[in-house]
């Protein structure tokens, strides 16, 4: 009871669903509560999109971006709903999302996870080079190898190898000049 009250009052950091409005960082718990996180079993099967878009933004670009119609919305201000079974983690929505809020996580490999992030900085990332892996707070969590990089309207979509335990932490890369 006490913890529920503290949660409602926003005293438990990282658990209050609105905490991201004061930090600019969303936790996996918050994503799960909003229905934005695929179930573990789906994550283990292969690449899947994670839409970190928790607010009612009047925007439906991702819905049109998806050729498989895996992302749906009833009204333009709805939170995107991903059909995890339809999504193949192709990353098209990563390139097109105006909020740069979509990522692809692949936990199907035995040793490493693959995380796909949008990137709009110079220099352009190159396949097989090592880049910094950044957390949602910008912290450098280590280095990882780029396995795929492609560009659309100046947004790079970069897939990097990440230690499995960091698959839900790494959300950006930084390429050393």
Partner 1 sequence: MPCTRNLLSDRRIWSHPILTFKRGRKVKFFFEGREVEAYEGESIAAALYAIGVDIFSYSIKLKRPRGAFCMIGKCSSCFMKVDGIPNTRTCIEPVREGVKVERQKGLAEIPTNGGESDVEDEEVLETDVLVIGGGPAGLSAALATAKYGLKTVIVNEHFKLGGQLLKQTHKFFGSKDLFGGLRGFQIGEELSRKVMGNPNIKVLLQTVAYGIFRGGWVGLAGKNKLYRVKPKAVIVASGASENFLTFPGNDLPGVMGAGGAQTLMNEYGILPGDEVLTVGSGNVGLIVSYQLLQAGAKVKAIVEILPEIGGWFVHAAKVRRYGIPILTRHTLKAVWGRERVEGATIVQVDEKFRPIPGTEKDIECDLVLIAVGLTPDTRLFAQAGAVMRWVPEAGGPVPLRTRYLEVSIPGMYIAGDASGIEEATTAMLEGEIAGLSVVTKLAGPKAEVIERREKLLKFLWDEYRASPLMARAKAGKESVTVSEEEMEEIRKWNPPFVSFGVR
Among 31, 48, 49, 53, binds partner 1 (CB under 8 A): 53
122 binds partner 1 (CB under 8 A): yes
64 binds partner 1 (CB under 8 A): yes
CA distances from 99 to 34, 40, 46, 75, 131 (A): 18, 25, 24, 18, 23
Please state the closest distance from residue 15 (CB atom) to partner 1, in A. 17
Please state the closest distance from residue 46 (CB atom) to partner 1, in A. 25
How many angstroms separate the CA atoms of 141 and 43, rounded? 21
153 binds partner 1 (CB under 8 A): yes
Query: Within a 10 A sphere around the Cβ of 8, how many other Cβ atoms?
Result: 10
Which residue stretches of the chain are H helix? 2-8, 20-23, 28-33, 40-45, 61-65, 92-96
Please state the closest distance from residue 37 (CB atom) to partner 1, in A. 16
Q: Which residues make Cβ contacts (< 8 Å) with residue 23, sequence separation at least 6?
A: none
Please state the closest distance from residue 18 (CB atom) to partner 1, in A. 8
Region of 35-43, 75-83, 105-113, 161-169 interacting with partner 1 (CB under 8 A): 75-83
Q: Report the residue number, 64 or 83, with the smaller CB distance to partner 1.
A: 64
Please state the closest distance from residue 52 (CB atom) to partner 1, in A. 7
Structure tokens at 139: 């912290």
Instruction: Annotate 24-36 with b (16+ C-beta within 10 A) or e (fewer).
Output: eebbeebbeebeb
Contacts to partner 1 by CB under 8 A: 20-26, 52-61, 64-65, 75-77, 96-101, 120-122, 124, 134-139, 153-155, 171-172, 174
């Amino acid at each position: 009871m006490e913890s529920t009250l503290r949660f409602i009052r926003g005293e438990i950091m990282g658990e209050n669903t609105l905490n991201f409005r004061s930090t600019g960082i969303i936790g996996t718990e918050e994503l799960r509560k909003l229905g934005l996180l695929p179930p573990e079993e789906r994550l283990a099967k292969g690449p899947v999109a994670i839409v970190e878009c928790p607010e009612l933004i009047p925007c439906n670009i991702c819905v049109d971006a998806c050729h498989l119609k895996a992302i749906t919305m009833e009204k333009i201000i709805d939170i995107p709903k991903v059909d995890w079974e339809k999504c193949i983690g192709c990353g098209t929505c990563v390139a097109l999302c105006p909020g740069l809020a979509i990522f692809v996580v692949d936990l199907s490999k035995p040793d490493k996870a693959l995380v796909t992030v949008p990137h709009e900085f110079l220099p352009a990332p190159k396949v097989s080079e090592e880049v910094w892996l950044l957390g949602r707070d910008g912290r450098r969590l280590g280095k990882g190898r780029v396995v795929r990089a492609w560009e659309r309207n100046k947004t790079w979509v970069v897939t990097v190898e990440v230690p499995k335990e960091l698959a839900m932490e790494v959300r950006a890369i930084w390429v050393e000049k």
